[in-house]
Structure 1
Amino acid sequence: MFSFGMGLMLLNQTHLAISFGISTIIGPLVSLLLLVPLGNLVDRYPHKAILIVSDLSRLSSLLLFAWALPLFAGIGKLIPVVIFSILDYIWTDFSSTTYSAAVHELVNDRKIQKLSSLTSTASSISAIFSPLLGVILYSLVGFEAFIMIEIFSSLVSFLIMLTMNFHYASKTTKKRSSQTGQLQMFKAGINYIRHRPLIKGVIMIAVLVNFVFTSLTVEIPFVINDRLHLGNLPISVLESADSAGILLGSLIMSWQLTKNYFRQLLLVPLILDGVIMMLLGGVFMLFRSAASVSLAGAFVMFLLGVVVVIPNIVMQVELQKSVPTEFLGRVTTILITINSLIMPLGTLFYTGLFQKIQAN
């Protein structure tokens, strides 16, 4: 909701199309710069200590942002927004990677799938409601209130994190890693991935799926608005339906499924993803009114949301269960960085494709 409000504020102040696209540029660049040190630091130091530092640093960045933003006007608003976005991505990358690496210290193996599913459920709920709440709140109180809400919610999150118990493994691994240089630790992580076919397979699948699904980010607004001239309402309906599908799929995956179904839960949904994306293309070819595209498209996007979240959770759970805690930080960082870099490349590729080929 905060990101949505910041995009609206920038659009009103600067009238630049990039107002909602700053994160797609800054995020991957920050991930690339942090590729070596982030995973090493997460695997080297106690996870709760890293979370305390990153959360307090983000709170400080928010307070500075709230102070600096009114000092700029018009296109000058880009200066504090870009600086804050860089800092925000740094601290958020530290927090998200640390939480991923700390799963074994927070729950036992039997609860990892449930934790991943419930986390995905929470994200889906926020994805469904945040755009609507963002528009309403922005029209009522302006962007300054968003910053105050973000500071308050970050503070609450920080206090909750302080109450969590991290059950650390033996200290021998941490002691051994603290005597190793940054580059050596990173190379050790790369070598670990090279000798694990499962992790290499997960990375390749994630890269391919993210690249293909970037087409939806470009396709849905472009085809509905520019080709079919149906306005923005069907776009929001399809996005909400996708989030609702992810919510249902996450709830289904909160049931404990045995390891015997790993291949089926990975391969069958991936095949269905391709079939459902072809159905979406069929919707855009067959229907021409806003109501029919909204109804048929929402049904297809709901199915896609249900199906796409299943292999995502399955891969997360398998990585958490099979990768030792002392390597999880580096493995997670490499996986996130590769996928964050592939998405802007996919956006550029599909943007060129949709612009040049009439039969979108």
Structure 2
Amino acid sequence: RTATQLGYCLDHHPAPGEILDETHSFTIIKELRTGDRCNAQIVLTDNGKVAKIYDPLYYRFDYYDPVWERYRSELKADAVYEAEIDYYNEFLAYEEFAGDPVQGTAMPRYFKSWTINVPVTLDGRVLFRQVRMILLEYILGKCMLDIEPSNLSLQARRNVMVKLIEAYCDIKFKGVVQHDIAPRNIIICGENYEDLSLRVCIIDFNRSTVFHVAFEVPRSKAWAIFRYRNPLLHFSGLDDNPTFDGWLSEDEHQTKAWMWHLWEDGVAGKYAKVKENPKRRWSAVVLDDNDVDWEGQHPTTGDTLAAETAQIGVQGMHRRRMRDANQEEEDQISTQDNQSSVMEYDHPASQGERLVDDKNAKHDSFHGFNNSSDNSTDKNTNSEAFSST
């Protein structure tokens, strides 16, 4: 890596955390995803766990966008910020399910977050960088992206999709949205895809949103949308999604009828019962408003959410509100400090990319968390645990 990026990483540290006395040692035995511009480095350790290492030295630093071409020599991507965002989002998502059976089924088991001081020799001096890391379960299986659905029976394809949809809903209905559901982030465990006990595991939560944190409300009030607990309210348009081409029947009516047959009655109480919306074919409304609506209002805006709004469109409504709120905040920041050398593009869930002027770079700290993780590219790693929030 260039000295410029290394220097930036040395000058800009991750947000501080409360370091505990617990330590952990391991040896890297296999590289799963490593290299420049790969973002988080993923390796398998000798204790059978996966270490996901958020080292900004391996994040993209050179920035390119045709709109900003004339500033290309001056602007750099804030690799430290991007690594911190990736870590923070994944840490929050996994901590949210600590002790929950969702871990080990719908998502990997989580074995805390860690930090390490990585030694660096620069101009004859030994300096140290803090790098974040989390330890996860090693999922034995096959990536959905590597499977050709046309080689599977219809029953096998449907079974995989049912497991995937219900895994996603198990996570979402507890207030966490993964935001990057795609075959590359899905591991199928087992050889018999028609097996009703087949495990389908969702990975990669660096873009996720934990809604009670995002809205700064108690978990029980993390917006009514997550109380509309039925896959039909969130996946009615799945057959139109090219991401999963080949996994569902090309016959739209056959697919929708199959999905309604599965989930309309709530699956013995696991989900809310729904009925077809008479105003819009194949869309659904809940049968019992009291069962699924937290006081009928959005916890932040106070807007009333009637049962009829619990259609697929409510997700778009949420995204628009978040985008509008984010734009308003950016406008205020721009007005207050129009001389700033930092240009930001923030995702509502604190994800984004910061462009910094090399001559006047700065990195803002996060607030309100005290967990951290770290790893080094050394083959033997000794890490310190950070406390959980």
Q: Same fold (TM over 0.5)?
A: no
Choose 1 or 2 for highest CA Rg: 2
Judging by fraction of residues, say which structure has more helix: 1
Judging by fraction of residues, say which structure has more strand: 2
Q: TM-score when scaled to structure 1? A: 0.21
Q: TM-score when scaled to structure 2? A: 0.20
The structure showing larger relative contact order (alpha-carbon pairs under 8 Å, at least 6 residues apart) is 1
